[in-house]
């Protein structure tokens, strides 16, 4: 089977390898009536326990090991014969990319027992370089991943036939990119040629090298943070001068942060004042429009006051103007009203002397009367 055939294998997330019978299971996962138990039956009873180490299982089997074919693995094997898939690595700074790769390996077949090999420090430092976590920390990180059923410590750099036979491995899972190391262009080439390679996909954007690059890039930030948390300069391998420099930078940053906080609070205050002023201006404009409208309605050219004055003037004219006689009434001769003249006026005629009268009202002005 070629590697490209393995790429078409269905990935089924549901796994039956974690199902275990509660009755008749011995301390190492063996049944009471099976003296020649196979390590294939060994797994964690529950997810609340870490995966066991392969060298601590203590279960050996004299039965010959027969690998399952790809077709049998895809269909699904019996519960007591899961497909044993092996994945190896350094797993330094265990992250989501590692977990996703192991999840894919676990999901290759319906019934999968995932064995994970972790290389020790000496082998890793020789072929790859210095690690952040030591081998004990890396072993423990991997065995607490929920997809892992068994952990092989001191895993080899290249997989030999004896190693595959000892751990009864059916398939080896790894990303399909050629892994050149230890003088080989691809350490998995012989696994691919034997039809035992099961490819997985790498998770882009996350790797141990990427995480280390972030730490190196932001070195000053992390040093200052750890100094503030109580680590000594000696523990961080920081010189006396750099320690003082980092402490000074920390104080300067605190002052900058305080100034920034004051500026933000000032901006918030100014913003609130502007909002209040805008609200007041809007209310004032509304009230002024209402006042102007009421004023014009009362005192404008066509306002209510003008109509009131017109009505009052009309009533006054009606009150002081006499009513005209009807046109059908009989005409009466009226003597012309006497013309009033101011006394001593040049235009007025001389007044005739008024006849004198006595107390009885008789005219006594004529001397010739008898």
Where in the chain does DSSP place strands (E)? Answer: 83-89, 112-118, 150-153, 171-175, 197-200
Domains belonging to the chain, first-starting first, are 54-205 (3.40.50.620), 209-263+271-305 (no CATH)
Summarize pLDDT for 166-213 with one digit per residue, the tens.
Answer: 999 999 999 988 888 767 888 999 999 999 999 999 999 999 999 999
Assign 295 a pLDDT band (cuts: 50, 70, 90). confident
For the cut 90, the answer to whether the pLDDT of residue 101 exceeds it is yes
Angle 219-228/208-217 helices, nearest 10 degrees? 70
Q: Rounded to an integer, what distance in angstroms lies between the CA atom of residue 25 and that of residue 80?
A: 13
In whole angstroms, give the CA distance from residue 241 to residue 197: 54
Residues in contact with 51: Cβ distance below 8 Å, sequence separation at least 6, in sequence order: 44, 116, 142, 143, 144, 145, 148, 149, 150, 151
Of the given ranges (67-71, 324-328, 332-336), which has the lowest mean pLDDT?
332-336
Mean pLDDT of the chain: 77
Q: Which residue has the higher pLDDT, 349 or 300?
A: 300
Most trustworthy range by pLDDT among 61-65, 107-111, 259-263: 107-111
* Confidence at residue 28, expressed as pLDDT on a 0 to 100 scale: 33
In 49-156, DSSP assigns E strands to 83-89, 112-118, 150-153
Burial of 161 (0-12, 13-18, 19+ CB in 10 A): exposed
**Residue 224 and residue 230: Cα distance in Å, rounded?**
10
Residues facing residue 363 across a β-bridge: 357
Average pLDDT of the segment spanning 248-253: 80
Give me the pLDDT at residue 288, please.
Answer: 82
Instruction: Identify the three-state secondary structure at position 317.
Output: helix
Write 224-232 long-range contacts (CB < 8 A, 24+). Answer: 224/249, 224/250
Of 163, 159, 198, give the one whose Cα is nearest residue 181. 159
Smallest CA-to-CA distance from 33 within 25, 44, 41, 43 is with: 25
Which pLDDT band, with edges at 50, 70 and 90, does 6 fall under? very low
């Amino acid at each position: 089977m070629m590697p490209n055939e393995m790429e078409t294998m269905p990935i089924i997330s549901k796994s039956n390898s974690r199902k275990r019978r509660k009755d008749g299971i011995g301390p190492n996962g063996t049944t009471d009536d099976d003296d020649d138990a196979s390590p294939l039956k060994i797994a964690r009873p529950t997810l609340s326990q870490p995966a066991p180490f392969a060298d601590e299982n203590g279960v050996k089997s004299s039965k010959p090991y027969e690998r399952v074919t790809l077709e049998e693995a895809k269909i699904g094997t019996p519960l007591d014969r899961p497909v044993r898939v092996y994945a190896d690595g350094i797993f330094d700074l265990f992250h989501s990319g590692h977990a996703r790769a192991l999840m894919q390996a676990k999901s290759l077949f319906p019934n999968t027992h995932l064995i994970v090999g972790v290389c020790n420090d000496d082998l890793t430092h020789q072929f790859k370089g210095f690690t952040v976590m030591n081998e004990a920390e890396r072993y423990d990180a991997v065995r607490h991943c929920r997809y892992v059923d068994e952990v092989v410590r001191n895993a080899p750099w290249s997989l030999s036939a004896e190693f595959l036979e000892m751990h009864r491995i059916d398939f080896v899972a790894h990303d399909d990119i050629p892994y050149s190391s230890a003088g080989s262009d691809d350490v998995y080439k012989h696994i691919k040629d034997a039809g035992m390679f099961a490819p997985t996909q790498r998770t882009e954007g996350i790797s141990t090298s990427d995480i280390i690059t972030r730490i190196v890039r932001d070195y000053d930030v992390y040093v200052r943070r750890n100094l503030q948390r109580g680590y000594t300069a000696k523990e961080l391998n920081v010189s006396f001068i750099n320690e003082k420099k980092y402490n000074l930078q920390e104080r300067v940053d605190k002052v900058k942060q305080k100034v920034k906080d004051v500026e933000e609070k000032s901006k918030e205050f100014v913003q609130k004042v502007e909002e209040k002023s805008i609200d007041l201006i809007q209310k004032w404009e509304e009230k002024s429009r209402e006042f102007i409208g009421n004023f014009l309605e009362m005192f404008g050219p066509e306002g209510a006051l003008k109509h009131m004055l017109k009505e009052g003037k009309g009533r006054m004219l009606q009150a002081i103007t006499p009513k005209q006689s009807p046109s059908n009434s009989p005409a009466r001769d009226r003597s012309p009203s006497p013309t009033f003249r101011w006394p001593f006026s040049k235009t007025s005629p001389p007044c005739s002397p008024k006849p004198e009268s006595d107390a009885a009202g008789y005219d006594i002005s004529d001397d010739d009367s008898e």
